Copies of this chain bind each other. A is one copy, B any other.
Amino acid sequence: MESRVASVRGKKLSELGEKKVIEEVIARYVAKPSWDEYLEVPDDARDVLPGGPRILFSIDGYSLEKILLPWRTLRDAGWCAVVGAISDHIAKGGVPRDLLVSLGMPSTTSVENLIEIFEGIRDATTEYRLRLLGGDLNESRSPWIDVAVLSYTSAKKPPRRCCGKVGDEVIATGVYGAMGYVVIHGIEESARVNWVIEATKKPRVYVETAIAISLYYRAIHASMDVSDGLGYTLIEMSRAMSRGIELVEEPEYYRELDGVCKDLECLWKYILNGGEEYGVVLVVDQRYTSALLDYLHKLGIPAKLIGRVVDKEPHIYLREKNIERYVKFWDQFRGWSATTKVMEG
């Protein structure tokens, strides 16, 4: 293996050619079939036996340059692509297991850069006990990565974004404020702030959240992951259930913000803005909130009761004031804008 890797040093994809890139580079990162599976590289599909009664299925793509904050390496980008893709499953109670990756790369890409991406993918699959089952490799002027994921759940009814009721309580898992710092201060300034870099370089997920969700699915009326900022997730869920969400307490946040902010409104601005925190917002029947929080804490997951569903217009409120104007939203085709504008069109 090592000698093969050495032989590609300094080479471009066009020099090695598609077939050798797949057989000699990518195949090393692909999991072998288990005893009850048969297909493997170079077969064009993989066979799996379902890991639970209900399958969840998703695809999540990125232009590679969009993942690359200046302090992220290509290896971090590989990690981020996997983490972003499995986050959607966790929020729906699916324990992610099987992954496929499709990459588009210019022919002039160095093989070492491709290896770096796959090292990052392997970091994440190792950390979260996933299997990379294969994928596809394509030539493209601008590089892209798509990750397709299968997860499995025992939940008879995986929670949607909608469907919370007045009186339900809102739990947020995860730690907030670091990507909010990037949104508010910009990339250049954030690049000089160590705790922000540390917190955003390789975002993490809490896979065990899926187990808690699948166990408590009857009590969870809505669930959505936080990939475009906590504020966006809360607004989206509030619209989906046509009810307001009153914030009652901050979720876990980076304590460095206590030195940045003098008041609560300032703190919430950092907490609500962001992206790629990959926590989960759960709208829960209040009779089960403390049991669910207790279960999440036993799993080692940062989780707090942050709000409740109120019989008001669908906005997010702090001390009864609509604070949606704090929240900015990233639109892939239009850049940053106020979330209210995005929501109301």
A interface residues with partner B (beta carbon < 8 Å): 13-14, 16-21, 38-40, 42-50, 53-63, 66, 88-89, 91-92, 94, 98, 100-104, 107, 133-142, 144, 146, 148-151, 153, 157-158, 160-161, 224-225, 227, 236, 331-334, 342-343, 345
Pick from B62, B94, B331, B342: contact of A45, CB under 8 Å = B94
Q: How far is the CB of A174 from chain B (nearest CB, A)?
A: 16
Cross-chain contact B104 with A61 (CB below 8 angstroms): yes
Q: Given A20-B345, A66-B139, A332-B137, are A55 and B60 neighbors across the interface (CB < 8 Å)?
A: no
A135 nearest in chain B by CB position = B59
A54 nearest in chain B by CB position = B47
Cross-chain contact B63 with A104 (CB below 8 angstroms): yes
Cross-chain contact B55 with A50 (CB below 8 angstroms): yes
Cross-chain contact B160 with A107 (CB below 8 angstroms): no
Pick from B45, B138, B333: contact of A18, CB under 8 Å = B333
Bound complex: CA A160 to CA B39 (Å): 6
Q: How many copies does the complex hold?
A: 2
Cross-chain contact A59 with B136 (CB below 8 angstroms): yes
Q: How far is the CB of A98 from chain B (nearest CB, A)?
A: 6
**Chain B residues positioned under 8 Å from A18 (CB to CB):** 331-334
**Chain B residues positioned under 8 Å from A148 (CB to CB):** 57, 59, 100, 146, 148
Bound complex: CA A38 to CA B93 (Å): 12
A51 nearest in chain B by CB position = B55
Bound complex: CA A224 to CA B40 (Å): 13
Cross-chain contact B56 with A158 (CB below 8 angstroms): no
Known A16-B333, A39-B56, A102-B146; 5 more pairs at CB < 8 Å:
A43-B160, A47-B56, A58-B100, A62-B138, A137-B332
Q: How far is the CB of A171 from chain B (nearest CB, A)?
A: 18
Cross-chain contact B144 with A140 (CB below 8 angstroms): yes
Some 9 contacts from A to B, beta carbons below 8 A apart, are A39-B92, A44-B88, A47-B55, A59-B101, A63-B138, A63-B139, A107-B334, A139-B333, A150-B150
